[in-house]
Amino acid sequence: MGGGGDIFSQMFGFGGGAGRDRGPKKGKSVQHSIKVTLEEIYKGKTSKIAVNRDRICKKCDGKGGIDGANSTCEGCHGRGMRTKMTQIGPGMYSQSTGPCDECNGTGETIDEANKCKNCNGKKVVKEKKVLEAIIDKGSPHGEKYVFHGESDEHPDREPGDVIIVVNEQPHSVFKRKGADLLMEKEVSLLESLTGCDFVVDFLDGSKFRVQSPKGKVIQPDQLMTIEEKGLPFHKNPYRFGNLFVLFKVKFPETLQEAQVKDVQQVLKGMKKNVDANMDASETVTLIPFSQDQKNTHCQ
Ligand SMILES: [Zn+2]
Ligand SMILES: [Zn+2]
């Protein structure tokens, strides 16, 4: 194996070659973002993530070879870094400092015959591990789940952490703010005047039926509230946020003369629209929206 990644991680661990004597340093933490839908945030989710990380070779106990096989690299005198002169033109040289080629930046060499066969002298071997993150109900976007010491291990430093970050995916119907949800609902002018009755496919897989109060006219851009049809509160999942419904009233572009007459006769004779599918497990009622229904802080 080897390659650029190892060199960079070694450079990181040594802090540029000067930090070796200051005791073990902590290795780099690795972040993994996981996509989580709003449905999954509603219900909670167990997410598995496979990490391929370095672990200290058990055969050589992280020494890279048998006892006495290690010696200070002659190329860099154990510094791990080396200053190189590169000819860039006739009589012109550029000076650069980088990890030593001979020891791969480790500052030591292991004699070939006594190298550990298991890790080929690298002191570490790749190991795959599946980590299980339990995404809480109502988990906020950007929430971090830390797996301490599960990243790369190395003899010279403490292993870094693996951090799993919740990346909430946009939802086609609901927008989220804290534990509250917002949805837009388009209604016809007729519905806005005579009342609306529709079904919402909810995040838990159920359906509920929404009815406006009798005699209540829905204004364009009116916000109404369905209590406790938001997300579970984060870390308090028996309480729920609210669902706010923003009504968009679709006005007819034109009315025929006869219709105008009908409207003038105090809106008589109009038929109400109903959802084709009223197969809902529950019927809920819209109430007027107010600011104190918000549960934005509850996460
Ligand atoms: Zn060297
Ligand atoms: Zn080994």
What is the model's pLDDT at position 8? 40
Domain-wise residue ranges, the chain: 4-168, 175-293
pLDDT at 22 over 90: no
Confidence of residue 296 (pLDDT cuts 50, 70, 90): confident
Q: Which of 21-30, 85-94, 150-159, 182-191 has the lowest mean pLDDT?
A: 21-30
Confidence of residue 179 (pLDDT cuts 50, 70, 90): very high
* Domain with residues 175-293, CATH architecture: Sandwich (2.60)
Whole-angstrom distance, CA of residue 208 vs CA of residue 280: 5
Distance 70 CA to ligand 1 centre (A): 12
Distance 228 CA to ligand 2 centre (A): 58
Distance 126 CA to ligand 2 centre (A): 11
ipTM above 0.90, yes or no: no
Tens of pLDDT, residues 200-213 = 999 999 999 999 99
DSSP letter, residue 27: P
4-168 has which fold? HSP40/DNAj peptide-binding domain (2.60.260)
Confidence of residue 273 (pLDDT cuts 50, 70, 90): low
Do 4-168 and 175-293 share a fold?
Answer: yes
Q: Which of 39-48, 102-111, 114-123, 186-195 has the lowest mean pLDDT?
A: 102-111
Ion ligand 2: residues, CB < 5 A: 57, 59-60, 116, 118-119
Give Cα separations from 277 to 142, 172, 205, 221, 273 (angstroms).
Answer: 37, 20, 15, 25, 12
Confidence of residue 269 (pLDDT cuts 50, 70, 90): low
